[in-house]
Amino acid sequence: MTSQEPVTELDPRYSSEDATAVPWARGLELLRAAEQFWISTVRPEGRPHVTPLPAVWRDGALHFATGPEERKARNLARNPEVVLTTGTGAWDDGFDVVVEGAAARVTDERRLRGLAAAWEDKYGSFWHYEVRDGCFHHGAGHAYVFAVAPRTVFGFGKGEPFSQTRWRFA
């Protein structure tokens, strides 16, 4: 997973003259705090698929869960490339974050137990998961868990000054 500091750069083409690059610590703070993300995957015929979901930042990656028969899981079986987005719906206020990377399935039960605890800490007891057979179990269903270690993360500052920060990971 990603543990090093990324290269941080401001893109002046999409930033106000007085904007400065946002430190990775701020981007990371927003990823940890965000409750709602939008995941974009690619369907077999190449069309995009986008859906909301909760996610947890842990061990240098953004983690999400999905049922094995859900469209996003079926898409990931063919193409692991994803984009996860979070932010506000306002155009001139707040900060949006976009994470690009490949989703890798997590099956290690010790790691899954830590993630299950993180999910419940962040989202409450409704999101209590049991861990077995390399999956999260909730009620009658089960879910695969995926980790997305970012390759590139974009941060969009909205409102004066507008800014676009890019964090690149080795």
CATH architecture of the domain 7-168 equals Roll (2.30)
Domain ranges within the chain, ordered by starting residue: 7-168
**Which pTM was predicted?**
0.95
Q: Bridge-partner residues for 126, per DSSP?
A: none
| Contact indicator for 59, 113 with CB cutoff of 8 Å | no
| Contact indicator for 40, 50 with CB cutoff of 8 Å | yes
Q: What is the chain's pLDDT, residue by residue, as a tens digit (170 residues)?
A: 555 799 999 999 999 999 999 999 999 999 999 999 999 999 999 999 999 999 999 999 999 999 999 999 999 999 999 999 999 989 999 999 999 999 999 999 999 999 999 999 999 999 999 999 999 999 889 999 999 999 999 999 999 999 999 999 98
Angle at 136 between CA 135 and CA 139, to 5 degrees: 125
Burial zone of 12 (CB within 10 Å; 0-12 exposed, 13-18 middle, 19+ buried): exposed
